[in-house]
Amino acid sequence: WIIGAAFVILPHFTVGLLSDYKICGDSECESLLSRVQAIKDHRGKDCRFLSFRKGDTIFVYHKLTGKREDLWAGSVCLMSLSICLLLYVKKNIIKNGSFPNSL
């Protein structure tokens, strides 16, 4: 049981929270907040962050506030692989686009 407890407890010490709060479109953070466009190519620094090319459309589902106000959670669809990824993106490398009611 000690090994099992280590697997449950240790990840919380090593990874930590990215921020204290987040702004969402609904109580489950599942509704789309906005659609934005990448203004330059970006390579995510680790598996929590999106990689994309200039001009890619990114769908934003929540925005972090508190400790980290510079990160938004969004998805980008890779048509060549037929998959969509939901990860974090720095808000200074995207520009606001349209909001859900205009999608």
Instruction: Summarize pLDDT for 2-12 with one digit per residue, the tens.
Output: 443 334 444 44
What does the block give as tokens for 9? Answer: 């407890």
Question: Is the separation of the CB atoms in 95 and 39 below 8 Å?
Answer: yes
Taking the mean position of all CA atoms in its chain, how far away is CA 12? Answer: 19
pLDDT of residue 9: 43
- Helix, strand, coil % (nearest 5) of the chain? 20, 40, 45
Mean pLDDT of 73-83: 67
Measured distance CA(72)–CA(59) in Å, rounded: 10
This prediction's pTM: 0.61
pLDDT for residue 26 is more than 60: yes
Superfamily designation of domain 18-98: SH3 Domains (2.30.30.40)
Residue range 32-75, pLDDT digits in tens: 888 888 888 888 888 777 888 888 888 888 887 777 777 777 88
Question: Is the separation of the CB atoms in 61 and 73 below 8 Å?
Answer: yes
Mean pLDDT of 75-101: 60
Per-domain residue ranges for the chain?
Answer: 18-98
Dmax (CA) of the chain? 52
